[in-house]
Chains A and B, each alone.
Chain A
Amino acid sequence: MNERKFRGDWIVLPFLGIVAVVVLWAISSKTWAPNLPTPWKTWEVSQPYLMKPFEKRGELDQGILRFTWYSLILVAKGYTIALLIGTPLGFVLGMSKMFAKTFDPIIQILRPVSPLAWLPLGLVLFQKSEPAAIFTIALCSMWPTVLNTAVGVRAIPQDYLNVARVLNLSRMKTLLKILLPATLPYMFTGFRLSLGIAWLVIVAAEMLTGSPGVGGFLWQEYNSLIYEHIILCIVTIGVIGFILDRLMGLVERRLQVAKA
């Protein structure tokens, strides 16, 4: 239906939504969840971490954005590996039916495995926490890229391939001028989903390995009974994930225009 619009509704309405949730949270902490810190208590306790976000007071006592930065670095490493392996794998899967038939079942089996299951295997393989975390991130976030790229390659209209054949384009030129641009929008959808998963995995990976980062901090503060910081971490993880997704969305939209 035609809802009424007013100036600035895109900023006022989301703000109202946030206020509503905060009110609900405050009521909850006052009534049925006495262990849940109230919003103002959370704000008070979180202040040093928020106001000086890059300060390093000790190994386990650092500004929230400094922790975030560690996490992002780790995500970037794992995500890059995921793209470097996932994209070519997707291409091959999309182009060769035989390859697809051979590997599709095993991919479908590995895809739903939780990061919590992969991480111990990573620790066994690499003996150290950081490579294990990267291994887990790469393995878990790869699948959307692989599958979307494969779908993109299969979805290339016969028209475009006919153009390549009629013009006798070389294999290299067909790849660069036709296959790659035609698949790009699909690939990017995969990249975007992969990044989302990578960010999900980081928290779990840091919790289990105890490496410094938002996830590690969260787990440590849980153990130190500072529940306010758990909420701080949750909010930070959410905001960062949202920003990452939006950034990818912006790039993706540019590519969709070219897709026509």
Chain B
Amino acid sequence: MNHPEKYLEIWKLQKSYPSPSGPPAMIVEDFTLNVAEGEFVSVIGHSGCGKSTVLSMIAGLNDPTGGGIVLAGREVKEAGPDRGVVFQAPCLLPWMTALQNVTLGVEQVAPNKSRAEQRAIAAHYLDLVGLGDSLDVHPNQLSGGMRQRVGIARAFALSPMMLLLDEPFGMLDSLTRMELQQVLLDLWATDRKTALMVTHDVDEALFLSDRIVMMTNGPAARIGDILEVPFARPRDRHDVFEHPEYDRLRQRLISFLEDNAQHPKVREEMTNDPHNIPPRELGDRGSFSGRRTFSVTPKSHDAA
């Protein structure tokens, strides 16, 4: 606790899975990172590079095979409500209303409060994410964006020691994504809780974070580079986009990702594609520079 710059210490984190034939499959080889108290850090990388695995290890949902995690002086060994997790799918319980979903968590962190107080806390956070008049609505009556708002409220209502966000907006359309980025930023700005977010969206990372950690491609992913984001807070979308440094920082992230574009899934998509663009030419064709649309997650083609 005496080292505010080492609020969260991740040391040589490693994850491998035993494989039936040959050596174990190494997912994350060496992930070492210190996060200061009140800092917002994003981890960016191609899908399947193991960034979500890192986050789930910090959440305690996945046991590391090497290294350690220390949060505020205590080693992280299992999952718990001291870390507020926002999942990619909102993970709401469909048989509970929005309020009940959030209250379930509040009951866990504030068991001594009365039921009315617990509900009041939950309602307060739902109000902050703009759902004040939808407390008694079940998740199946909410749009995808609204559901994720409940997910965000649930994480914040725990008053956790830190926030863990696993591609929180990855399943939303670009417009709703921007809307929710603002909701998240406003909520975060109220008490600047230490946050670690996994994303593959360059602009999202730039808009929200103080630092961006770039991960190399798996197998055996590691930290490739770290980018400091100099934009002043509180942030405004206009100012950020029109900031003189914006394009340069953005380009740095994109170049890093392009250099790591040798992801098997990306290659597969390209061989399927009659255009068959070699990865190195992507920059010129601009495919990788789509501003909002930057994403290398090949979505399921059969989804629709």
A-side residues, CB < 8 A to B, are: 159-160, 162-163, 165-169, 177-178, 181-182, 184, 257-260
Contact = CB atoms under 8 A, between A and B. Distances in A.
Contact of A160 (B59, B60, B93): B93
Interface string B82-110: 01010101010111100000001100100
A167 B104 CA distance: 8
Contacts of B93: 160, 163, 177-178, 181-182
Interface of B: 59-61, 78-81, 83, 85, 87, 89, 91, 93-96, 104-105, 108, 138-140, 158
Residue with the greatest number of chain B CB neighbours at <10 A, chosen from A168, A169, A258 = A168
A139 B39 CA distance: 62
Contact of B81 (A160, A166, A260): A166
6 contacts: A159-B91, A162-B87, A166-B60, A168-B80, A181-B93, A182-B93
Nearest 7 A/B pairs, CB to CB:
A260-B140, A260-B94, A165-B79, A159-B91, A181-B95, A258-B95, A167-B108
Contacts of B89: 159
A65 B104 CA distance: 49
Nearest to A169: B108
Contact of B60 (A163, A165, A182, A260): A165
A220 B59 CA distance: 69
A256 to B, nearest CB: 11
A258 B61 contact: no
Given A167-B81, A168-B79, A258 B91 contact: no
B94 A259 contact: yes
Given A165-B61, A166-B60, A177-B104, 7 more contacts: A166-B81, A166-B85, A167-B105, A178-B93, A258-B94, A258-B138, A260-B94
Given A177-B104, A260-B139, A166 B79 contact: yes
A182 B95 CA distance: 8
Contacts of A258: 94-95, 138
Residue with the greatest number of chain B CB neighbours at <10 A, chosen from A163, A166, A184, A260 = A166
A177 to B, nearest CB: 6
Contacts of A165: 60-61, 78-79
B134 to A, nearest CB: 16
A166 B94 contact: no
Nearest to A165: B79
B139 A166 contact: no
A182 B138 CA distance: 14
A257 to B, nearest CB: 8
B80 A159 contact: no
A168 B106 CA distance: 11
Nearest to B106: A167
A184 B91 CA distance: 18
